[in-house]
Structure 1
């Protein structure tokens, strides 16, 4: 999808497009960005151009890359008035979590709850779970 860039470097135009998709929710927060190969095909550019665009997104706080996970949309676009609140706690696995993790009901899990607010308004609550590591 060729885009007129009016003097801007091509990677900057792509970074701006991806940033707009994140801000508009087309790419939801926490969701993986399309792979480099998908983006190279969509924007009809070299892989290096896509890498520079993703680096620009990371620098601006709209994306983060985790080794082994990929690049995902971050919370920059929320314009938060305060940082997210994170709480860790141990919980017993209910039936749904036990099925997902393929463990017994009642097995101890770690729940990480992140509450993101704008002012006094809760914008989102994210809960992630992991199995409590076995102690030797």
Structure 2
């Protein structure tokens, strides 16, 4: 079996078993290359397999996450996420990432995933506030 398939199988098992919860970031490419002692290209092939299977989503600049609607898991196992959106002031780190001034307004979008009432993961993303009409 090709090495990328072995890595994809292991990551698939982690996603389907909940070790990597829905919406959570997968380990970085560099972490996976170290863990599996594989080349970056091999790890990228494994992640591509997961994307093709609908188990993972890659967002530029953010990384790869396990899909919130993981096949093979019931809604009860996944839990419906609570979502919140609010305006926040950019801290120095976010300001540097977005290339804006510290204190500028960003929109924070947060998803909280629970299983049996217990928080399993929190996924938070930020975007620039678009000027209104």
TM-score between the two structures when normalised by the length of structure 1: 0.56
Aligned to 1:13: 6
Q: Could you report, residue by residue, the CA deviation over 1:72-131 in whole angstroms, capped at 9, with x for unpaired residues?
A: 13154xx5432322222224x1xxx332315253x4321111111113222222333333
Corresponding position: 1:88 with 2:85: yes
Aligned partner of 1:57 in structure 2 is: 50
- Number of the residue aligned with 1:72: 64
Query: Residue in 1 aligned with 2:29?
Result: 34
Larger Rg: 1
Q: Which runs of 4+ in 1 moved over 4 A?
A: 20-25, 47-50
Q: Which residue of 2 aligns with 1:112?
A: 109
User: What root-mean-square deviation, in Å, do the aligned CA atoms of Structure 1 and Structure 2 show?
Assistant: 3.7
Distance change in 2, residues 1:58/1:99 (3 Å): same
Structure 2: runs of 5 or more not aligned? none
Q: Is the 8 A contact 1:31 1:73 kept in 2?
A: yes
Which residue is 2:38 aligned to?
43
CA distance in 2, matches of 1:31, 1:19: 11
- For residues 29-88 of structure 1, give each alpha carbon's deviation from its aligned partner in whole angstroms, at most 9, with x where no partner exists: 3245416xx58x9336xx47952x32332244442223x447513154xx5432322222
Partner of 1:123: 120
Task: From the superposition, tell whether residues 43 and 82 of structure 1 become closer, same or farther in structure 2 (CA, over 3 Å).
Answer: same
